Amino acid sequence: MVQILGLILLSFVVISVLLVPYINLLYKLKFTRQKQKTRDIFEVRTHIFDKLHEHKFGTPVGGGALIIFVVTVLYFLATTLMPYLGIERTSIYPFKKEFQILLFTFLSFGALGLYDDLRKTFGFKKEKFWGLRFRVKFLFQWLLALAVSAYLYFTLGIDIVNVRFFDVIDLGIFYIPFAAFTIVAFANAVNISDGLDGQASGLLFISLIALLIMSASILDTTLSIFLGLWIGSLIAFLYFNVWPARIMLGDVGAMSFGATLAVAGLLLGKPIGLIIIGGMLVVEVASSLVQILSKKIRKRKVFGVAPLHLWLQYKGWEEPKIVSRFWLAQLMFAIFGLWLSFF
């Protein structure tokens, strides 16, 4: 555990050193949030969102890309140098296979999100296939999630769900759609939560701390090293991401981080615990889903605007108040999830 704490400090220092030059580079490349007429998945104009977030236009996006790059490089180095760092290689699954699935999820969902950021920033035409409409992006998410889930099932042999008080449930082949749904849900949950300064990264940070405690308790160093490096980088990023944000995660970070968070929970065999630990992320995506289904089926809204954080902002709550209270709620969800996992 001492070595993991050292890796948290290492990634924190590296991101801290690189972040200011990186922000300046994004400004130079004009890779910033653009003033545009945003639309929901039904291609309907979102006037309320545009009005409430008008002040964010011009803020650099793509902060997640730097975190992905740094964590990936440091993860390669740390796992290669484990014997020299005094870290014993212990894990539930074969080291290389766990290493591969973590990085595949981290990088593939990041690449999908990066393309979406590029489209939004530089205006690729939506009417063309590679303009990546929501339904096309959603399809790609499912294809990647099914590939990851199939790897978890066929290669790592994971097919169970550990549900406290109900013992272990063997899902068999149905584990693949279950895991894929979990991955897609969390990828979109983090993406939806990345609407206010510091919100998504703060909720992620709290969730990852809980998962690190769980992975350390079962001596899974392969996963613990990855989570530690990720946590350290998020701490440094949060310094520049809290209100008023100087940089945003962007879809590249949100999609990658949400999907990888889900995979970490699946590797730990605690998807139900993950749902509780990531409670506010679940609440955010659930509020959006309820709104979408209501508009589609009932032809009317449940909320004036969704997701939950946007509705609170619309009601007059100040942005820092919403974010800080979401953090507190997430902290309690994480503690509750850990309690259930260790009970």
Question: Residues 22-66: pLDDT tens digits?
Answer: 999 999 999 988 766 565 554 555 667 667 777 778 899 999 999
Phi, psi of 161 (to 5 degrees): -125, 125
CA-CA distance, 224 to 234, in Å (whole number)?
A: 15
What pLDDT was estimated at residue 129?
38
Residue 208 scores a pLDDT above 90: yes
What pLDDT was estimated at residue 336?
95
Give the H or E element holding residue 208. helix 199-217
Residue 305 scores a pLDDT above 60: yes
Residue 2 scores a pLDDT above 90: no
Q: List strand residue ranges (DSSP E) for the chain, in order.
A: 160-163, 167-170
First to last CA, the chain: 22
What pLDDT was estimated at residue 300?
83
What pLDDT was estimated at residue 132?
54
Q: What is the pLDDT of residues 232-284, one digit of tens each?
A: 999 999 999 999 999 999 999 999 999 999 999 999 988 889 999 999 999 99
CA-CA distance, 76 to 157, in Å (whole number)?
A: 24
Half-sphere exposure of 197 (CA within 13 A, CB side): 20
Q: What is the pLDDT of residues 102-142, one digit of tens each?
A: 999 999 999 999 998 988 887 655 444 344 567 888 999 99
What pLDDT was estimated at residue 51?
72
Beta-carbon contacts of residue 219 (< 8 Å; ≥ 6 apart): 90, 91
Q: Which residues of 87-97 are buried (b: 16+ CB within 10 A; e: fewer)?
A: beeebbbeeeb
Residue 223 scores a pLDDT above 50: yes
| Range in 51-55, 78-82, 172-176 with the lowest mean pLDDT | 51-55
Give the H or E element holding residue 83. helix 82-85
Percent of the chain with pLDDT over 90: 66
Average predicted confidence (pLDDT) for the chain: 89
Entry pTM: 0.93
Residue 316 CB neighbour total at 10 angstroms:
6
Mean per-residue pLDDT, 88-108:
91
DSSP 130: G
Residue 222 scores a pLDDT above 70: yes
What pLDDT was estimated at residue 136?
84
Q: Which residues share a beta bridge with 170? A: 160
Phi, psi of 34 (to 5 degrees): -95, 150
CA-CA distance, 59 to 61, in Å (whole number)?
A: 6
Q: What is the pLDDT of residues 176-202, one digit of tens each?
A: 999 999 999 999 999 999 989 999 999
**65: nearest Cα among 121, 10, 9:** 121
Residue ranges of the annotated binding site for Mg(2+) are 191, 251
CA-CA distance, 132 to 136, in Å (whole number)?
A: 6
Percent of the chain with pLDDT over 70: 90
Whole-number Cα distances in Å, 10 to 236, 250, 260: 11, 24, 21
What pLDDT was estimated at residue 109?
97
Give the H or E element holding residue 32. none
Half-sphere exposure of 7 (CA within 13 A, CB side): 31
What pLDDT was estimated at residue 130?
43
Residue ranges of the annotated binding site are 191, 251
**11: nearest Cα among 66, 85, 89, 82:** 66
What pLDDT was estimated at residue 131?
45
Mean per-residue pLDDT, 9-25:
97
User: What angle do helix axes 199-217 and 250-267 make, rounded to 10 degrees?
Assistant: 20
DSSP 39: B
Mean per-residue pLDDT, 136-164:
92
What pLDDT was estimated at residue 82?
83
